[in-house]
Amino acid sequence: NDPVEKLGVERARRAIEAADLVIWLISPPFADIEEEISEIKRLRANGLPVKLIRGKEDLPDSASLASWLDRGFADDVVIAYSAISGEGLQEIKETIRSVYEDRGSQGSESVIITNSRHREAAESAVRRLIEAEQAMEQGLTLDLVSMLLRSAAEHLAEITGQSVSEEIVQTIFSRFCVGK
């Protein structure tokens, strides 16, 4: 009944709903098993991929795990993980990678942005760069091109946390603007 805890739970639920992937840690003791099973099924019904990880693999509790699997998760690949030994960590990484590769982010050249604010900033930066390129092709003023480049750099700075100085803009402008 703690209002702060309720607020935290609600924020966590909103973050889960916006996620590309949910990694659900099944870890003994299984106190709220019915509530957890219900939540996983609800998330999956809403189209969210939920991957199951069995934590504390170094502690034997196979009976509780069997009860999970008997309640509708028999087809799931449950990754056994131990924070103590590191067992299963590579498999978890591969599972995460495969989810994003299945969504079209393949190869070592691709970038995965997991934060929606960062994604929006990157998309805005790309739009400004395209606008700057178009402005140059149309022969518009260098002031306008410079303004668009600065805007793109500022959007990228939102991701990195760095400020964009006049020197950086001038360096970019001097290297990529032909015929000034």
Could you read off the pLDDT of 41-75 as tens digits, one per residue? 888 888 888 888 877 766 666 556 666 666 666 66
Region 115-142: what's the mean pLDDT?
A: 88
| Structure token pair of residue 55 | 């934590």
Q: What is the 3-state secondary structure (H, E, C) of the chain?
A: CCHHHHHHHHHHHHHHHCCCCEEEEECCCCCCHHHHHHHHHHHHHCCCCEEEEECCCCCCCHHHHHHHHHHHHCCCCCEECCCCCCCCHHHHHHHHHHHHHHCCCCCCCCCCCCCHHHHHHHHHHHHHHHHHHHHHHCCCCHHHHHHHHHHHHHHHHHHHCCCCCHHHHHHHHHHHCCCC
Which of 69, 102, 135 lies at the terminal end of a domain, its last residue?
102
Higher pLDDT pick, 128 / 12 = 128
Provide the pLDDT for residue 106: 47
Nearest in space to 129 (alpha carbons), one of 159, 170, 173, 160: 173
Is the per-residue pLDDT at 180 higher than 70? no
Asked if residue 35 and residue 9 are part of one domain, the reply reads: yes
Region 120-140: what's the mean pLDDT?
A: 91
Structurally, the chain folds into a number of domains equal to 2
Is the per-residue pLDDT at 38 higher than 70? yes
Q: What is the CATH number of the domain that holds 52?
A: 3.40.50.300
Quote the CA–CA distance of 62 and 20 in Å, as a whole number. Answer: 30
Asked if residue 78 and residue 9 are part of one domain, the reply reads: yes
CB 27 within 8 A of CB 56: yes
Asked if residue 88 and residue 10 are part of one domain, the reply reads: yes
Task: Calculate what percentage of the chain has a pLDDT beyond 70.
Answer: 67
Provide the pLDDT for residue 130: 94
Which of 102, 125, 142 lies at the terminal end of a domain, its last residue?
102
Range of the domain at 145: 116-176
Asked if residue 86 and residue 136 are part of one domain, the reply reads: no
